[in-house]
Each structure stands twice: as structure tokens, then as C-alpha cells.
Chain A
Amino acid sequence: MNEFLTAGGVGLGNGAVYALLALGFVIIYKSMQVISFAQPAFMMAGAILVSYLSPRFGFWVGALLGVIAIAAVALIVERVAIRPMVGKAVFVIAIITIGVDIVVRVVAGSFVGVDPRSIGDPWGLEAITIGGVRFQERHIAAILAAAIIVTLLFAFFRYTRIGLAMRAAALDQEAAMAQGVSIGTVFAVSWGLAGALAAVAGVFAASGNVIDRSLWMLALVALPVIILGGLDSLGGAVLGGLIIGLVEAVVRTYHSTWFPFLGTNTGSIAPYVLMLLVLLVRPHGLFGTKEVERV
């Protein structure tokens, strides 16, 4: 049982990181109906930037500056590469984001260098024991941070003017424009938010680890998360993130008893297998809106 609870703690911690990333994907999807494949690059860039800033300014200020900087980068990318394409096929825009992802990743990766980098987080690998079960502090921090950010986000969409405008644009872009919503602002804010969320996720993904060029691979797990939760559901992204995180950690813990014939690393493909299984039953994910089909 303790083993299972430990796996659960790890799973929820990673799941919180996935949820933050998935929220970024979903916010962009809701505003432009596009999956931004650039999120993994923003996450990696965020972690690397914070690793440069935190020795100078301390972890908290460094992380904040890093998050703001990545949000700014995302804003610029949106303005330069995405905005001219608005109105074109979504697939084309999605492929452009793949291009952006590659470029940002190469540029960020060139700052990794040969020496191991860390983001200088205050918790490292320390763990606390609750009721005989060890929980790593970085996982608890990730869960807390995710909870606070999710609450703030929902409040933002619920109570602010621009949040309301974004909900309106997500519901019906043309109708929102007719009511005086500036779609450009909505796009910009959604990319900025997504960039910031990716950077926060990057900070927690890199905490306790050494940053290397393969960090972005972790962000790809957010793709099964959003498919599982449904591309346009914020709640689905959070729940999907936690589910995927848990399943991954549990499979990692028990794979030798469950799938002894399948090698050593089944945890890494568990999210994708789960995604395929869910899609067989529900093609729009667990909470996604079913598309209205009309000619």
C-alpha cells in the first residue's frame, strides 16, 4: 500500500506539471482552434532561462522573471508567425507551430552548454514522510502551485473583462467580434498565458533534475493529456493531467509484475496507450465538446 501511495504522490506531482502544460494547449486551442506544438519548446526555454536567472536573483525572483520573459517570447511568436496565418487551415497553423518549436528548441538548447545546469530550486530532492509514506517536496510544491494557478485561471476567466472576452471568442469568434471583442487581443493573451504556463511547468519539471536538451520530451506527454481530457476543456486538462500522471507512475512502479515481458520502460508509453484506449470509446476525449457535423 505504501508503495502505491508513493507512486500516487509522484504521479500527482508529475500530473500537476502535465496539467499546467495541458492548460496552455487548451487555452490556445479554445481561442484559435489550433494545437500549438511550440509548448514543449517554451517549457524547455523557460527552465533553461530560469537556470540562468536564479543564481543571480534567487529562485523566486528568477522564476518570476523567467516566466514573464517566456510569456513575452510567446507573444512575439504569436504576432510574427501565427497572426498572419489566422483564417488559414488549422493544420497549416499547427505545422507552423512545429516549425516554431524546432527553432525555439534549438536556440534554447544551445544555451544548455556542457556543464550540468539546475534551476536552483529550494526543495531539490528532499522528502517528507507523512504516515509512513515518503513524498518528495518538489512534487508537493508542484501540486500546490498547480492548484493556485488553476484557481487563479478560473477566476480570471470568470471575473475579468478579458477573461469574459476570451470565453466569448472561444464560443463563437464572429459573434464575439460583432460584440466588440478584439480577437487580436484574445489571441495575444492566450499565447502569453500559454507561454507563462509552459515556463512554470518547465520550472517544476526541471526541479530536482539536471536540465538537458531532452527536457522538452516531457512536455509531449501533455498531448495525450489534452486528447484524454478533450481539446477544449480546461477542467479536462487538469483532470487529464492528474490521471495521466497517476497512470504513468503506477505503471512505472508495477510494470515488472504486470508486464514482465515488455522491457523496462513501459511507463513512458502508458500515456499514449491510455489515450488510444480512451479514443476508441470516446473520439472527443472525456470532456471535449462533440463537434457538430454539418455541411
Chain B
Amino acid sequence: MTTIQEPPVADRKPRRPRRARGRTELYTSYGQEMSLLNTRGKQLGVLAIIAIAAYLPLGLEDDMLAVLGGGLVLAIGAIGLNLLTGYAGQVSLGHAFFVGLGAYTAAVLSGDPDGRYLGFGITNPLIWIPAAGAVAAIAGFLVAPLATRLRGLYLAVVTLGLVFIGQYFFLEWRSMSGGAQVGRDAATPILFGIDLTRNGAYSDEQKLFWFFLVVLIIFALLARNIARSKVGRAFSAVRDRDIAAGVMGVELSRYKQIAFVISSFYAGVCGSLLFVLNGHVSAEQFGLLLSVQFIAMVLIGGVATISGSIMGALLIALLPQIAAEVPHLLPFISSSARESPNIFELEIAMYGVLIIAFLLFEPRGLYGIWMRIRTYWKGFPFSY
């Protein structure tokens, strides 16, 4: 008979686990491995990127800032779609509908109460951003019971139907949306008494860029936390094999519903901000092309990665600029809309080509390219 000696519990002081110096991937506690940014390199890298992004408005032209600012907003929507499609595996072509709901909610709330269209005059973005998200989330909640019954491509087609039905109502409800080809003013952000869309000490593009950046950081952190929590792991289980996940005790319909609601919330927030830059919302913009663009952002950036969604969104936002540069290189492509082939056609074709090329050659997207670069340097001089 041997007695097992209990370790003296009282002697163990609860110490904060320390990281071994120079061994960035040696974790000494679960907390370290599960943390938001689990290596020093990531912590410093993210800080550096945020610092550079915060400095950009002081160093770039306003035109470029407007493009990048649009990219930051699209990134919020892309993160939302990635939570739904990348993490939870529910293919949705209906993202444009929820973006539209958010855009109109924000526009109506901040609209002039005495104006031509429905408006409530609430110009504080701290109110209309969450409200836009909430309205889209409620719509997602209402759609979810239908969506959770369906799988795979059935779901893709049904969400596509949502876009058409939504666009119809946006077009027909003229007192709300301004009707076809007219549209209405986008939401105006007046934060702490400063109108972000008017030039003051800084130009409107600069102020909006900072504003978008802050919102994006908040929502990216939130998404990262969702992804590494219980909910996020349930999403992955549903994505990988939903029936198996159900057998293991993951409540399928509940988690699919949660995914839909969260994704719609993000879409709503994205929509509320998306048109602030150019100040105008019209119903035609919430069509199939916008949905496809979001899908492209997720796929080109990297499925089931938050940083990938941001990279993908920035690339898609920059595409018009890239397309505009092409006529200098290939003179047969015209920059006039009347001739064919022109840069507008080229831009749309580039979405298609990029989607095909990434899926064929780099299925993990821009994030995958980054992983390869990282692995190369980690493994240097060994190539495997």
C-alpha cells in the first residue's frame, strides 16, 4: 500500500504564468494559448498596423483615404459574412439585403424630420449605428428559422431570393428610400458636436477614416472573441459536419440562428456606415453584385479568419483604383463607359477572375499567402 502524497496546495501561489523568453510558441498555460493575440509577434504586429492606420490620414491624399475608408467599412460587413459563412458554414448570398436594411435604418434615423422622406433627426452615430445593426439583426432572426431548416446550396438560393425581395421593397417604399434611381441622403454622423462629414480642423475624409477605423477595431475584436469562445467553436463544429455536431450536443438550429443574427448585425452596422462617405443611398446598390462582392472579400481574404476578411475587403475596395490604372498598361481598354471593353467592365470581370483564381490556386486566400510567407521565414533555411 502506497499512499499518494498530495502536493501541498497551500504552498502553490497563484502566479501569473510567464512566457519563456525567446520561445514565443512555448505556452505555459491554457490562458496564454487561448488569448486574443497569443504571441508577442502578433501583439506587436497588430499594434504596429493600428499605429500605421491611425497615422495614414495625415500622410495620404483625401481621395485615397476615401477609398481606404470605404474598405474599412466593407471589412465590418465582410467579418460578419465570414462569421456566418466561414466559421458557421452557412452560405449566404443575402448579405446585401441586411446591409441595405442597416443603411436605410441609419438614413431614416438621422434624416431630417422635416425633409421629403421619413426621418427622425437623430444624428448621433452612437445611436444609429447600434440601431441599424439591431434592425438587421432582427431581420436575420426572423429569416433564421427558415434558413436553419435548409442546408448548403438550397440555403444559398433562398438567401439570394431575399436580396430580390428586399430590393423590391426598398424600391417600392418611396417615402422611406426615395425610390428608384433617386435614393436619399445617407446618415450624417455628428459625434460630440463635430459633424464628421464637414471639413473643419481636419478634412471630412480624415475624420471619417479615424471614425471608421475605431468602429472596425471594436467589431474586429468582438468577432475575434466570438470566434474563440464557446459560440465560435460551436460554429466550427456545425460547419465541419452539422449532423455530427448535433449528435455531440451542439444545438444546431440555435447556433445557426445565432450565426445569422450576428452576421446580420455586422451587415447592418456596415450598411449604416457604407454610404456616409459619399452621402447617398439608393436601392439599386443592394443587389446581387454587392452580395457577390462580400463573398469575394471573404474568399479572397481567407475563409474563417478575421484578419483575412479585413485584407479581402481592402483589396476589393481598391479594385476600382486598380482597374483605373489598367488602361495605362493595356491601351486597348478604354476608360470611357461608352466604349467596350472599358474599365468598369474590367472591374466587374476582375471580381470574377479573382474569385476563380483564388479558389483554384490559393484556397486560403490572402491570409493563406501571409501564412506561407510566415512559414517560410520560420522554417528558413529549410523549405518545408
Which A residues are in CB contact (< 8 Å) with B161? Answer: 223-224, 272, 275-276
Contacts of A34 in B (CB 8 A): 153
Residue A181 CB within 8 A of the other chain: no
| B299 CB to nearest chain A CB (Å) | 6
- Inter-chain CA distance A98–B299, complex, in Å, is 12
B349 engages A107 (CB within 8 Å): yes
B160 to chain A, nearest CB (A): 6
- Whether A273 is near chain B, meaning CB under 8 Å from some CB there, is yes
Q: Who on chain B is nearest to A288 by CB? A: B154
A85 to B299, CA, bound (A): 15
Contacting A at CB under 8 A, from B148-162, are: 149-154, 156-158, 160-162
Cα distance A139–B137 in the bound complex, in angstroms: 44
* Shortest Cβ gap from B316 to chain A (Å): 13
Q: Whole-angstrom distance between the alpha carbons of A108 and B244 in the complex?
A: 44
Contact yes or no, B338 A114, CB < 8 A:
yes
List B contacts of A95 (CB < 8 A). 295, 299, 355, 359
The answer to the question of B351 belonging to the interface, with a C-beta cut-off of 8 Å to chain A, is yes
Q: Per-residue CB proximity of B322-366 to A under 8 Å, as 1/0? A: 000000000000000010110001101101111110011001000
Q: In the complex, which of the residues A91, A96, A263, A272 contacts B164, with contact meaning CB atoms closer than 8 Å?
A: A272
Closest partner residue, chain A, to B91 (CB atom): A91
Q: Chain B interface: which size bin?
A: 35 or more
A98 x B340 contact (CB < 8 A)? no
Please, how many angstroms separate the alpha-carbon atoms of A273 and B349 in the complex? 31
Nearest-neighbour CB distance to chain A for B126, whole angstroms, equals: 35
B376 near A: Cβ within 8 Å? Answer: no
Which residues of chain A in 76-95 are interfacial with respect to chain B, using CB atoms and an 8 Å cutoff?
Answer: 81, 84-85, 88, 90-92, 94-95
CB within 8 Å of B: which of A86-140? 88, 90-92, 94-96, 98-103, 106-107, 109-111, 113-114
Write the nearest CB–CB distance from A26 to chain B, whole angstroms: 12
The distance in angstroms between the C-alpha atoms of A178 and B320, with both chains bound, is: 49
Interface centre among A95, A103, A263, A295, by most chain B C-beta atoms within 10 angstroms, is A95
A277 to chain B, nearest CB (A): 10
A101 to B168, CA, bound (A): 23
Determine whether the beta carbon of B352 is less than 8 Å from that of A106.
yes
Q: Which residues of chain B are within 8 angstroms of A291 by Cβ–Cβ distance?
A: 151
Q: Which of A35, A99, A113 contacts B352 (CB 8 A)?
A: A99
Partner among A263, A272, A295 whose Cβ is within 8 Å of the Cβ of B247: A295
* In the bound complex, CA of A116 to CA of B166 (Å): 31
8 Å CB contact of B157 from A102, A107, A224, A262: A224
| Distance of B178 from chain A, by nearest CB (Å) | 14
Chain A residues within an 8 Å CB radius of B338: 114
Instruction: Report yes or no: A102 in contact with B349, Cβ–Cβ below 8 A.
Output: yes
Check A279 for interface membership: any CB of B closer than 8 A: yes
Is A102 within 8 A of B299, CB to CB? no
Q: Taking the complex as formed, is A265 at the interface, i.e. its CB lies under 8 A from any CB of chain B?
A: yes
* CB–CB B164/A81 < 8 A: no
* Distance between Cα atoms of A226 and B161 in the complex (Å): 13
Give the residue name and chain of the A residue nearest to B338 (CB): A114
B138 at the interface (CB under 8 A from A): no
B interface footprint on A208-247 (CB within 8 Å = 1, 0 otherwise):
0000000000001001101100010000000000000000
Any chain B CB within 8 A of the CB of A55? no
Contact across chains for A91 and B156 when beta carbons are under 8 A apart:
yes
Choose among B149, B164, B348 the residue that contacts A102 (Cβ–Cβ < 8 A): B348
Within 8 Å by CB of B359, from A85, A106, A226, A263, lies A85
* A269 interface contact, C-beta 8 A: yes
A99 touches B165 (CB 8 A): no
- Given A91-B153, A273-B165, does the pair A96, B356 have CB atoms closer than 8 Å? yes
| Shortest Cβ gap from A267 to chain B (Å) | 10
Smallest CB separation, A228 vs chain B (Å) = 10
A293 contacts the other chain (CB 8 A)? yes
Which of chain B's residues have a CB closer than 8 A to the CB of A81?
356, 360
B243 in contact (CB, < 8 A): yes
Tell me the smallest distance from the CB of B56 to a CB of chain A, in Å: 31
When distances are taken between beta carbons in the complex, the residues of chain B under 8 Å from A224 are 157, 161
Taking A273-B165, A279-B149 as known contacts, 4 extra A-B pairs with beta carbons closer than 8 A to each other, sorted by chain A number, are A94-B156, A99-B351, A276-B161, A294-B243
Residue ranges of B at the interface with A (Cβ–Cβ < 8 Å): 91, 146, 149-154, 156-158, 160-162, 164-165, 168, 171-172, 241, 243-244, 247, 288, 292, 295, 299, 338, 340-341, 345-346, 348-349, 351-356, 359-360, 363
Can you sample 13 A-B contacts with CB below 8 Å?
A84-B360, A88-B363, A94-B153, A98-B295, A100-B352, A106-B346, A107-B349, A220-B288, A226-B157, A266-B168, A269-B165, A279-B149, A279-B150
